[in-house]
Structure 1
Amino acid sequence: MTNPYTAVGLIPEITEIQDRDDIAYAHTCAITLPGAETQELGRWAREFNIHVMAQARALHPAFPDRYFNVGFVIDPTGKIVLRHYKLTPLPPMEHSLSPHDVLTKWTHLYGSGPEAFWPVTDTAIGRLGTMMANEASYPENARGLALAGCEIAYRTSYPLPGVASDAFDIQNRSRALDNLMYVLAPNPASYTGADGQRVDFFGGHSTITDHTGRTIGHLDHGGVPTFVTATIDLPALRRQRTTAAWTNWPKDLRTELYRTLYDQPIYPANLYTDRPPYDHAEYRKHVTEPQIELMGSVSLPGSAAASPGSTRAPSRCPRAAPLPAPPAGSGTSAPPCPPTYAAAAAPRRPLRRPGSASPRRRAPHPRP
């Protein structure tokens, strides 16, 4: 039987799953932005007076022989008004680069402010942003969009078994609720192989979630081209963001506390600065297994590092100053310093560079 997954240009994720040549893929299948494909989408946008949110494997002139997974927005004039470079590809299946994989060069090109990673565009239908597929598995990506003013986030796609286990729906609703924004989550139809065989790796369950975390549009089935619709009530979203005393969660972020969680690096940066992406076996050896070992070194009750007879990772207290002494006779003492990773202290990177725009300012993503 002919292998149905050999149509490289038609089924890019399967290409990556099969460990095909990434340089060849970059030169034969990744597109340019703008290019013929976005010109056609732009023609549709002009014809129907709509905004188009989409994504594609695309090239970047500063990174030859590599490609990124890029989300983009086309306005009713046919112009690309936003480009977002996927930050957290699905490892090890996706071989497209993340800006984090080439972080030093990326920040040299675009700076280290939030707008370099979570761009939002202000349009006639609201403030739009994208968090593609696996990106929404990490709350930080949705929060980055929300703090940039995003009101409608595009999130596709998510594969099985994550859809069948309800992870896709739970994540969509959580990201919407936590950040008071709509989440549009269309899941793809089936893949089509070289012999015409269609295979659904996604399982449907396309949804639209409102800013309160309620599913207001859903479609259970998948595997075929279809659509899901709902009404987007931006006045209600904006009213809650500007008047809610409690449920406007981002206004109460205690950033000085949360920052201590990220003082130490976890996933390695600049992984592919000087080499192509690892194949699956290499990735497991050089990334997955060390990452599992790293997480096992966290000194938490019940973890291996905290078990009797184990070697505990040394803890570095993140406090900038000692806590005040408890009142005399209270019978209490200052809480112990929370455990942290066994890693050398790294200098804290400011949220924005001196002289740069506020991280909450909405700005278009710089074009390559």
Structure 2
Amino acid sequence: MELAKPVIRLSVVQSRIRGVDVNRIEQTRQENLNHLLELIDIANNWGGPKDLLLFHEFPITGYSNRWNRQDLLKIAIEIPGEETEAIGKKAKEHSCYIVFGSYAKDKAWPNHILSITTIIGPDGEIVEKHWKPRNIKAVFGSGFELFTTSIYDVLDQYVEMYGWDAVIPVTRTPIGNIATSSIQKEPELFRAFAMKGAEIILRTASGGFNSFDVQATSYYNRVYTAIANNAVSPNNPGFFADGGSGGSAIYDPNGMLMKQANSVHESSITVTIPIAEFRASHYPPSVHMELYRSVFDQYVNRYPPNLFSYYQPEDTTDAFRYLSDKDAWK
């Protein structure tokens, strides 16, 4: 897609995270949405207008390890829905792209809880929504596993419905080729994005991330990479206020830090990206796949795909029970 302008301004907004109260779902979710809308205004007021705003993984619903499936089916938003319509109005008002994560539900996937990163365009319309590619397993300790659905958890069904291109989506926009992800420490995914033409990789987090992992995404793939983490978050039920907060950053294609949040508080960082100049000299990473293909073809993952196609666990404890005998490495 042809670029609309030679230079763009990207702003990462580091905002609080606050889990929706299951006893006051409508009210507390609306409070989170109102706060997000206010921050969109602030981000475009302070330092002038932006072309692209990036928020963290859960600005609308927040997160709680106490929720079960029935809770999340009530808390999760629909995309499109009232929330994306309100955000779309702000995107149109400020003529900018807005990217944010959220728990979501979809009538095409009954009983599933999805983690979606949504891109809304300056016309106020949804450009694309990206599923979380995978959830980590066997890392949280005894009795706890995530029960939300990722692409990997329903891979065959997902590909049948949307095709293989949607597994590693790169969204072509007039401000650059954008990929998004809420997962950490999976360099193969980010290499695949770059191989498909991603120029800007927008990463979201909640509760922390590894800065080196984000820097390496830029360094090894010669792309711009941004990470939006949550700010210090008072009154977030079940968590300390400083729950893995801060560190939001943007790296250039050489892996050099362009800008980083200078505190754990709510703030934004903004950089100017010469996207036309970058595109003129940019190539996807050179991967000598013939050297590695046989190794990848023989690799057996610890957990097979499609495990949530047949059963959706009720909560983190049930997910641990369900997955406990599915470990192929034991």
Structure 1 and Structure 2 fold alike (TM over 0.5): yes
Partner of 1:265: 300
Deviations 1:69-96 (A, max 9, x none): 0011111100111111001234455432
The alignment status of 1:49 with 2:95, answered yes or no, reads yes
Instruction: For residue 290 of structure 1, report the CA deviation from its aligned partner.
Output: 5.8
Say whether residues 1:110 and 2:110 are aligned partners. no
SS in 1 for 2:269: coil
Distance in 1 of aligned mates of 2:236 and 2:186: 34
**C-alpha contact 1:5 1:194 (8 A) present in aligned 2:** yes
1:7 equivalent in structure 2: 21
Aligned residues of 1:142 and 1:175 also touching (Cα < 8 A): yes
**Residue 233 (structure 1) aligned to one of 262, 274, 279:** 274
* Other-structure match for 2:191: 143
Higher strand residue share = 2
Higher RCO, 1 or 2 (CA under 8 Å, sep at least 6)?
A: 2
Give structure 1 stretches of 5+ with no counterpart: 163-167, 243-247, 297-368
1:328 is matched with none
Task: Give the 3 Å change call, closer, same or farther, for CA 99–213 of structure 1 in structure 2.
Answer: same
**Contact conserved, 1:131 with 1:141, CA < 8 A, in 2?**
no
| Cα drift, residue 286 of structure 1 | 5.1
| Aligned match for 2:205, one of 143, 157, 179 | 157
**Structure 2 counterpart of 1:268, which letter?**
P
TM (norm. structure 2) is: 0.73
Aligned to 1:140, what secondary structure does the other structure show? helix
Instruction: Select which of 254, 257, 260 maps to 1:218.
Output: 260
Percent identity for Structure 1 against Structure 2: 26
- The separation in 1 between residues aligned to 2:233 and 2:244, in whole angstroms, is 9
Distance 1:280 1:34, change over 3 A: closer
Against the structure 1 CA distance between its residues 238 and 136, is the aligned structure 2 distance closer, same or farther, given a 3 Å change threshold?
farther
- Aligned partner of 2:126 in structure 1 is 80
Aligned partner letter, 1:107 = V
**d(CA) in 1 for partners of 2:269, 2:84:** 23
Mapped to 1, the partners of 2:314 and 2:292 lie a distance apart of 32
Q: For 1:119-146, what per-residue CA distance to the aligned partner results, in whole angstroms no more than 9, with x for missing partners?
A: 12222211111011xx231012112211
The CA deviation at 1:100 is 1.3
| Correspondence for 2:7 | none
Other-structure match for 2:47: none
Cα-Cα RMSD? 2.8
Distance 1:39 1:90 in 2: 31
In the alignment, structure 1 residue 183 sits paired with structure 2 residue 233? no
Query: What is the CA-CA distance between 1:14 and the residue it aligns to?
Result: 4.3
What secondary structure sits across from 2:179 in the alignment? strand
Residues 274, 81 of structure 1: CA spacing in aligned structure 2 closer, same or farther, 3 A cutoff?
Answer: same
| Alignment CA distance shift 1:5-1:117 (3 Å) | closer
Runs (4+) of structure 1 moved beyond 3 Å? 8-14, 90-94, 190-198, 278-291
Distance 1:256 1:49 in 2: 45
